[in-house]
Amino acid sequence: MSALIDIVLPVFLVVGFGYLVRWREMLSDGAIDGMMRFAQSVAIPCLLFLAISSLDLGAEFNFPLLSSFYAGAFAGFLAGLLGARFLFGRPWTDAVAFGFVSLFSNSLLLGLPITERAFGPDALAGNYAIISIHAPFCYAIGITAMEIARAEGAGIRATLTQIFRSMSRNMLVIAIAAGFVVNLTGLPLPGVLVEALALVGRAALPTALFALGGVLYLYRPEGDLKIVLYLCVASLGLHPAITWALGQAQGLGEAPFRSAILTAASAPGINAYVFANLYGVGKRVAATTVLVGTALSILTVWIWLAALGVNGG
């Protein structure tokens, strides 16, 4: 129980504060949007750039870590896709959108702070390795599957080109790419610049968590409850369970194993709704699953922490 109180609840209380402030109209949608933009376009890129630039790529980018996490993610996608189609009778386009919901875990806004609170800031190398290819992996799968399901419009190649252009202007992607450049070239960074970036980066997670609460206020709990709960099981249960099994089978080290499990156990991220909104299908179920999954993960993350032997302190 102490792990729930000491590690999990503080993270979700910050989300709850953001939700409460927006609900009571203490801040407007514009203010919440500005905070989220600052977090995603400025503070988190600073955090990711510094982390990737100093990451031991040879040690952290290992096959057991990435294969364990992403095999679990892909299994979640297939469970969401096939379940939506054959258990709930939804059209293939909706099924792809629902598969994306159980594919895209909130690695940044939940996985990072929970791992940091549980194991300290020095335990995040595995998280950063996963995050660095998270969006490209998930969007490549989602877009390809959606274009096959639609079999019309601009086609896979044109759509992938459009998404690539969009991602190339995304500050998170730019920061990760710049971090890799500095890491691989050994380019020295002025100490004063590192300190300034670190100062901004320290505001990233609390600001993003608070803004996430405000954003979730907009996602009213609507939609088919059965399919929402099904997608939550795939995201919060199946994904981390497969990651656990594969990590154990491949002898994944303790630190990366913990990072992989807690990232896999994170609730569906807002990108799940963004993807559904991009194609105009399954938006209500996607939004509701993000909200319900975030609430349920208070309990499920605690369970996974207990399985990892964390009892709080």
- Residue 198 is assigned to a structural domain of this protein: no
Cβ atoms of 88 and 226 within 8 Å: the answer is: yes
Contact 260, 247 (CB under 8 A): yes
Q: Which pLDDT score, from 0 to 100, does residue 58 have?
A: 79
Whether 225 maps to a domain, the answer reads yes
pLDDT at residue 151, rounded to an integer: 67
Q: Is 262 within a domain?
A: yes
Q: What is the pLDDT of residue 234?
A: 97
Closest of 151, 139, 32 to residue 92, by C-alpha: 151
One-letter amino acid identity for 105? S
At residue 155, the pLDDT reads 60
Residue 32 lies in a domain: no
Q: What's phi and psi for 253, nearest 5 deg?
A: -60, 160
Establish if 44 belongs to a structural domain: no
Q: Is residue 281 a part of any domain in this protein?
A: yes
Structural domain contains residue 182: no
Q: What's the rounded Cα separation, in Å, for the pair 199 and 195?
A: 6
Report the pLDDT value the prediction gives residue 152, as an integer from 0 to 100. Answer: 58
How many distinct structural domains can be found in the chain? 1
pLDDT at 140: 83
Cα 84-267-312 angle, rounded to 5 deg: 145
Q: State which residues form the domain around 226.
A: 2-25+56-163+218-307
Any domain includes 199: no
Q: What is the residue-level pLDDT of the chain in tens, covering all 313 positions?
A: 566 677 888 989 999 999 999 999 999 999 998 998 898 889 999 999 999 999 888 778 899 999 999 999 999 999 999 999 999 999 999 999 999 999 999 998 899 999 999 999 889 999 999 999 898 889 889 888 887 887 655 566 666 676 677 667 778 889 999 999 999 999 999 999 999 999 999 999 899 889 888 888 877 666 689 999 999 999 999 999 999 999 999 999 999 999 999 999 999 988 888 788 778 898 889 989 998 999 999 999 999 999 998 865 5
For residue 278, the model assigns a pLDDT of: 76
Among 196, 210, 200, residue whose Cα is nearest residue 44 = 200
CA dist list (Å): 28 to 43, 211, 213, 271, 287: 21, 11, 13, 22, 20
